[in-house]
Amino acid sequence: MSTHRLTAPAPGWTATTDVVVVGSGVAGLTVALNVRKAGLRAMVVTKAMLDDGSTRWAQGGIAAALGEGDTPEQHLDDTLVAGAGLCDEEAVRTLVTEGPGAVRRLIAVGAAFDRGADGEILLTREGGHHRRRIAHAGGDATGAEISRALVDAVRSDPEIELIEHALVLDLLTDAEGRAAGLTLHVMGEGQRDGVGAVRARAVVLATGGMGQVFSATTNPAVSTGDGVALALRAGAAVTDLEFVQFHPTVLWLGPEAEGQQPLVSEAVRGEGAHLVDADGVRFMLGQHELAELAPRDIVAKAITRRMQEQGAEHMYLDGRHFGAEMWERRFPTILATCRTHGIDPVTEPIPIAPAAHYASGGIRTDGHGRTSVPGLYACGEVACTGVHGANRLASNSLLEGLVFAERIAADLTGRHLAGELPERTVDVAAARAAHPVPLPPSEARAEIQRLMSRGAGVLRSAASMAGTAAGLALLAEQAYAHVAEEKPADPRVETWEAANLLLVATALVAAAAQREETRGCHWREDHPERDDAHWRRHLITTLAATGGPVSTPEEQ
């Protein structure tokens, strides 16, 4: 049963479905399409337009053992190495063995991958992969093609109800504490306007990442960690929040740039572009056997170190040797984006710096996407299935969204056929009785982002994170003080998002401060070594009765 909820007006309208899916990226849309096959009604609720998530921005591609000589076992090995001792091997095995079939089913839905003259799917390499196993579409527009195909498919099924511009607020449960629906705010006109409730037999969270918790990120504006915040308030366990992957090569747009920044895909390095420093020196040589194609954390750290050594704000990615024809054919999106910002990769090296990219942690799930709250599922980037461990292997995330979405749909279908998915009665009174979380003003978003980038970014230490934690605590205190002074912030999209960002940021810093070691994408300057004796285990975060997040190390 939720003990906390966002401050919001009481629901003014109610809708009913069988399965309500929150989010319309690769994960959410795949769940919706697959539960429909069992005759269950599905409703997809999404914050902005259907294609406004990270999925459509994915460039490099989707990893699966599809090539000659490649096997799921080799994909498993590379994934486990990247995960730095914290992957759930069973979950990874599921990912890599079910992955090739899931990609073929995605093709059957309508996604067109790039193919060679022989008709075979073209495969490229990315960091941490010892083989060419990344399928791509439109050169570097893989996510856009996947999103297009899935959006077309859901739009052509009249039994999938789509609600756009709808911000989901909190979970509703029945008297036994089972997920029974959710509250949401629809920015529309007509019957479903303002705060309402959706009743459902099961709830699937597919709300994507939380990159907006940092100042510079590759994630779109909708990636504010809403699903993780909602799950925490609903009493669910989240895990591995400290493992935020910083993409090494994000186009550097100046010291003041904030929000979503353009990515220069790893595939550019996969095709042979070099990282060079301010003096033109290839600094990745000798640092790792894979040089520029080392796992992302290694590359991001090396870039950050070199930036510090040289007092530089960025490094360079040099792909001039590709020539114009290859840039135009293989990386048309990146080429166009760079040129829009006045940089021509054909004739000059691209200025790059690391930025927050991917949340390896999230809502803890089992192999069927079930969370610790009965009837609540999580899928895609918002979930922590255990496949990424301490660091995600490049291009495993679209695959994870696909594979575990299919598994959630299969679980729901099985339970439905077994009569284990009855209609639920929503306990609205209990939901209203939950403690309302005061909302920070909308300007808090930028302050949270600054605090996080300053103290909990690529480089972390106890001191840097103490400053960030104190700043976040002050923002929370101010929100409570404004309520006490009867000057609370208005409940609206910006303040609800700010409240979610604040909770997620606080939970992330608490976990990162507790993990006194360096592992995967979590880099502690004051604890530079990996410490398996104490830390080869997960931190499980839940919400305390007071409303603050508490992280507990899992039993070893």
Ligand X SMILES: Cc1cc2nc3c(=O)[nH]c(=O)nc-3n(C[C@H](O)[C@H](O)[C@H](O)COP(=O)(O)OP(=O)(O)OC[C@H]3O[C@@H](n4cnc5c(N)ncnc54)[C@H](O)[C@@H]3O)c2cc1C
Which residues bind to ligand X, rule: CB under 6 A? 22-28, 45-48, 52-55, 57-62, 142-143, 166-168, 206-209, 218-219, 222-223, 226, 263, 358, 380-382, 395-398, 401
Q: CB 429 → ligand X: shortest distance, Å?
A: 24
Torsion of CA 287, 291, 296, 297, to 10 degrees: 0
Nearer to ligand X, 218 or 551 (CB): 218
Closest approach of Cβ 204 to ligand X, in Å? 11
C-beta of 384 vs 469, nearer to ligand X: 384
CA gap 12, 198 in Å, rounded? 11
Which CA distances in Å does 135 have to 50, 80, 94, 118, 220? 23, 20, 19, 15, 23
Question: Regarding beta strands 42-45 and 216-217, do their DSSP bridges make them parallel or antiparallel, or are they unpaired?
Answer: unpaired
The residue among 268 and 398 lying less far from ligand X, judged by its C-beta, is 398
Euclidean distance between CA atoms 191 and 14, whole angstroms: 10
For residues 175 and 336, which CB has a smaller minimum distance to ligand X in the complex?
A: 336
As measured in angstroms, the least distance from the Cβ of 300 to ligand X is 15
Q: Are 45 and 66 in contact (CB under 8 A)?
A: no
The candidate with the shortest Cα–Cα distance to 203, out of 16, 386, 75, is: 16
Strand 19-22 to strand 42-45: parallel, antiparallel, or no bridges (unpaired)? parallel
What is the length of the chain? Answer: 556
Of 379, 363, 357, which Cα lies nearest the Cα of 23? 379
Q: How far is the CB of 533 from ligand X (least distance, A)?
A: 32
Structural element, H or E, at residue 304: helix 296-310
Q: How far is the CB of 552 from ligand X (least distance, A)?
A: 26
* Between 137 and 513, CB nearer to ligand X: 137
Contacts of 50 by beta carbon, 8 Å cutoff, 6+ apart: 24, 29, 44, 151, 154, 155, 162, 164
Pairing between strand 259-260 and 383-384?
Answer: unpaired
Question: Is 199 an active-site residue?
Answer: no
CB of 120 to ligand X, least distance (A): 20
Our CB check for ligand X shows the closer of 84 and 379 to be 379
Task: Pick the catalytic residue from 148, 296, 306, 445.
Answer: 296
Annotated catalytic residues are: 296
